[in-house]
């Protein structure tokens, strides 16, 4: 199913919605709910994708998410937080697509929240097989992932600028 902006639900979040990332709170600015995923846009530039229960992650869903990012001012996502509800799976062709498209996402940091053994196995499968060139880490909880994306950004950007 293709992303249709008139069908997707865009929810403007009131200023009171904060996510505590340990040391400070991070505010959710926008939220878009699709058939297979929920996308949260944080004030600090983090894009959080939550795959819904029972979803198979495939290239069509990935393209749909990219369109949602672009429609919300994030043509190039540099800080991506991924989590999921239960019983998700990913097609092999999706993993191949991610590896090929990674070269167009230079500087993207990916944090995956995997609180269970099954989710950690799925997330580490990508690390073991495809060895991403961009920073990619697996965390047991949301707070650790947000903290890493927030604090590591300045370190990563400094290192990237030093190379140029």
Confidence (pTM)? 0.77
| pLDDT tens sequence across 83-112 | 998 888 887 777 777 777 776 777 789 999
Distances in Å between the Cα of 91 and the Cα atoms of 32, 76, 78, 88, 95 are 24, 24, 24, 10, 7
Task: Name beta bridge partners: 31.
Answer: 11, 40
Which CATH code fits 9-163? 3.30.750.24
Q: Is the pLDDT of residue 9 over 90?
A: no
- List the end-to-end C-alpha distance of the chain, in Å, as a whole number: 41
pLDDT bin (cut points 50, 70, 90) of residue 152 is low
Provide the pLDDT for residue 55: 93
pLDDT bin (cut points 50, 70, 90) of residue 137 is very high
pLDDT bin (cut points 50, 70, 90) of residue 162 is very low
Closest CA to 122 of 80, 84, 81: 84
Q: Is the pLDDT of residue 124 over 50?
A: yes
When pLDDT is averaged across residues 138-156 and rounded to a whole number, the result is 83
Neighbours of 7 (CB within 10 A): 10
Between 51 and 21, name the one with better pLDDT: 51
Give the 3-state secondary structure of residue 113. strand
Residue 104 has what DSSP assignment? G
């Amino acid at each position: 199913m293709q992303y249709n902006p008139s069908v997707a639900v865009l929810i403007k979040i009131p200023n009171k919605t904060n996510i505590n990332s340990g040391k400070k709170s991070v505010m959710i600015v926008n939220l878009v709910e699709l058939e297979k995923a929920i996308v949260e846009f944080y004030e600090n530039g983090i894009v959080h994708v939550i795959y819904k229960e029972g979803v198979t992650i495939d290239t069509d869903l990935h393209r749909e998410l990219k369109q949602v990012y672009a429609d919300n001012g994030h043509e190039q996502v540099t800080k991506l937080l991924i989590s999921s509800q239960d019983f998700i799976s990913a097609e092999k062709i999706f993993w191949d697509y991610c590896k090929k498209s990674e070269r167009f996402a230079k500087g993207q940091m990916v944090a995956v929240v995997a609180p269970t053994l099954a989710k950690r196995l799925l997330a580490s499968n990508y690390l073991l097989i495809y060895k991403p060139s961009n920073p990619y880490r697996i965390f047991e909880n949301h707070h650790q992932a947000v903290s890493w994306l927030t604090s590591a950004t300045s370190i990563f950007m400094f290192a990237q600028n030093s190379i140029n």
